[in-house]
Structure 1
Amino acid sequence: MLDNARGLMTRQRLRLLDEPSLGLAPIVVQDLFRTWRASHGRGTAILIVEQNAKAALALDEA
């Protein structure tokens, strides 16, 4: 969670995420994906390896 907060506070051009939702509560995962979708919409490229493929692929719908 701390790494996600740090990454969102900086103006990164690329985010690399490896199983970021592993072990998190479903409501927290929804919030994170919503935040990453908004970040992607502002121009941040996101490379994500995720077991929840449906949610990860939905990031591109921003």
Structure 2
Amino acid sequence: NTYSYKKQYIKLNDYISSQKESPVKSKWGNETFYWFGDDLLNDQKWLHQMLRYYKPPP
């Protein structure tokens, strides 16, 4: 993506904790984390194990 900022590598637990906080409307795009999940593209076993607990909203 032409408009992507540099990738940040953080632990999943830290990412989830940061997403549970109230959003700050004054944050810029480069201050916002988006989980692309491509850090383990060839080994997605961990992702499937985690997503089996995901329940989509109604």
TM normalised by structure 2 equals: 0.30
Greater fraction of residues in helix: 1
Structure whose residues are more often strand by fraction: 1
Which structure is larger by alpha-carbon Rg, 1 or 2? 2
